[in-house]
């Protein structure tokens, strides 16, 4: 069950109104989170590799060879060419100076040149990634962690918000039962974060505190590989009435 931050503000109606209706109402603000999990439809993977040569011409030639090898590996895996997109590397050229032990040894010896490349893969299964990793092992390509993607992120987030409101309503009904009342009305919904942490983070840290060091290490891991998880938090204010 989610660990929630609940703040109850009991506000009695003015004495005149109470005298007229004989009713009492209680206001309650509830912070709740909703979670949506759906199967992943694609995976985004970032690749990084470096091409090095004794001079700029050699390094650039090696860079073209490595790019061609990466594209060939993509084709060998049976993937369309647009599966891989090369993106600029911010750092640009990286120079590796030669370590000099004696001034005479360094005469006419140029610094080595190195150029980095980065590519983004869009895959439909993790099996495709395993095939590419095996093909590119000799090139010393670094693979980033696969990021699962699915559908329209905005739509999934709206679904998570809707679930969060439902969770908050269940809590409001529990308060009402405790107070001997039955009716709950939503009077305000807010996504504004007044505290230090977003609503979803409050739940994560609650789980961490109860789970110890292991929970801290895995607090952002997805427990269900191959799925996309979207968590949204809202603050809902209710009026509870008899």
Domain architecture of the chain: domains with CATH: 6-37+152-241 (3.30.110.170), 42-99+109-149 (3.30.70)
* CB-CB contact of 44 with 149 (8 Å): yes
Name the DSSP class of 171. H
The sign of the CA dihedral 78, 81, 87, 93 is positive
Nearest CA to 228 out of 44, 3, 31 is that of 44
To which residue do tokens 């409101």 refer? 165
Lookup: tokens for 235:
């603050």
Count CB atoms within 10 A of the CB of residue 229.
15
pLDDT score, position 135 = 85
10-residue stretch averages of pLDDT, the chain, 242 residues long: 37 29 79 92 93 91 94 92 85 44 51 89 91 85 92 93 96 96 95 62 54 55 76 94 93
- Report the Cα 241 to chain-centroid distance in Å: 40
pLDDT score, position 12 = 32
This prediction's pTM: 0.63
* CB-CB contact of 162 with 34 (8 Å): yes
pLDDT score, position 223 = 58
SS3 65: helix
Residues 6+ apart with CB under 8 A from 60: 51, 53, 115
pLDDT score, position 3 = 38
Rounded to whole angstroms, how far apart are CA atoms 203 and 194?
A: 16
Beta strands in 54-137 (DSSP E): 84-87, 93-96, 112-123
pLDDT score, position 215 = 53
pLDDT score, position 205 = 55
Residues 6+ apart with CB under 8 A from 65: 51
pLDDT score, position 137 = 82
Rounded to whole angstroms, how far apart are CA atoms 119 and 67?
A: 10
């Amino acid at each position: 069950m989610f660990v929630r931050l609940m703040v109850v503000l009991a506000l009695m109606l003015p004495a005149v109104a109470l005298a007229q209706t004989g009713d009492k109402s209680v206001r309650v603000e509830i912070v709740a989170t909703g979670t949506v999990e759906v199967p992943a439809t694609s995976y985004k993977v970032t690749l990084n590799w470096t091409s090095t040569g004794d001079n700029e011409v050699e390094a650039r030639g090696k860079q073209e060879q490595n790019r061609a090898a990466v594209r060939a590996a993509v084709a060998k895996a049976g993937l369309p060419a647009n599966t891989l997109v090369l993106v600029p590397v911010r750092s640009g050229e990286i120079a590796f100076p030669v370590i000099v032990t004696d001034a005479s040894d360094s005469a006419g010896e140029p610094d080595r040149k190195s150029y980095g490349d980065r590519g983004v893969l869009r895959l439909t299964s993790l099996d495709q990634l395993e095939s590419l990793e095996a093909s590119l092992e000799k090139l010393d390509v670094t693979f980033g962690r696969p990021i699962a993607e699915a559908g329209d992120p905005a739509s999934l987030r709206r679904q998570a918000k809707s679930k969060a409101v439902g969770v908050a309503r269940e809590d409001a009904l529990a308060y009402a039962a405790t107070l001997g009342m039955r009716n709950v009305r939503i009077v305000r919904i807010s996504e504004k974060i007044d505290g230090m942490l977003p609503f979803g983070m409050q739940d994560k840290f609650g789980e961490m505190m109860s789970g110890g060091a292991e929970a801290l290490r895995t607090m952002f891991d997805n427990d269900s590989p191959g799925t996309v998880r979207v968590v949204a938090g809202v603050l809902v204010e209710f009026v509870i009435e008899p």
